Amino acid sequence: MNKISRYKTIIAVVSVILLNAATLNSALASSALLHCALPTGFSPVETPFVWQTQLSQVTRQQLESQLDTTGQIKTGSADDATRKSVVFVNLWAQWCPPCLKELPMLDQLARTLEQSAVEVNSLKPQVIALHLGGNPRAIAADLQQRGLTALYPFVEPNVATLNALKLIGLPATLVAIDGQVHFHHMGYLPHTSQALAQWLNCLSDSSLLNPTQENRHES
């Protein structure tokens, strides 16, 4: 898969997260806790109606990202190829010191997952650094200058998205399974990349994403 195709896939993943978040399933989040140890500070989403109300505003916003070297900005859309995947979305901004502090760890997390042998439907867990506001080219250049080449430089142009998601500040992290947000974390991530990779791989490899496999075990 070339770099442009990967960008398109990741954009579709982000779109699925925001567009499908209205169908949150708290039962799945609770079930996931039984399979994979929840890292400190992460909480399962257990109030789908509240999130549904807030996210209904977000669904009207289009996520944009620089896809190629020509400077063309294209809009992402949901795609079946993004289903049955685990996506780790970190919302950040250049003016946020804790955000900048955790970026190297997130870059290492992306590298660790890329090298991981765990796959679900040919999709490894993905890490998305979603910058609030700003110019995609400038954000991409900033990440390059910091040597953070494993992170995809995505930009959400509407800073009001933070309020729409009922997030009280930055940094903030959302974890989606199969296109639906199930976990969130507010504030700086004190975790190691290895610990987060282990958790995400567990979610990705669990029977939550492979119900037919679970049924075989029970039969």
Q: Which of 44, 51, 49 is nearest to 26 (CA)?
A: 44
Q: Is the peptide bond before 171 cis (omega within 30 degrees of 0)?
A: yes
Report the distance separating Cα 215 and Cα 219, nearest Å: 6
SS3 for 131?
A: strand
Q: How far is CA 151 from the centre of its chain?
A: 11
CATH for the stretch 45-63+83-202 = 3.40.30.10
User: pLDDT at position 147, please?
Assistant: 94
User: pLDDT at position 196, please?
Assistant: 97
Give tens-digit pLDDT for 1-34.
555 555 544 554 455 455 444 344 455 555 545 5
Give tens-digit pLDDT for 115-155.
875 444 446 788 889 898 888 888 889 999 999 999 877 88
- State the amino acid at position 152 in one-letter form: Y
- Residues with Cβ within 8 Å of 155's Cβ and at least 6 positions away in sequence, in order, are 64, 65, 130, 131, 132, 133, 134, 135, 136, 139
Whether pTM > 0.85 for this model: the answer is no
Q: Which of 154, 180, 155 is nearest to 17 (CA)?
A: 180
Q: Is the pLDDT of residue 73 over 50?
A: no
Domain layout of the chain by residue ranges: 45-63+83-202
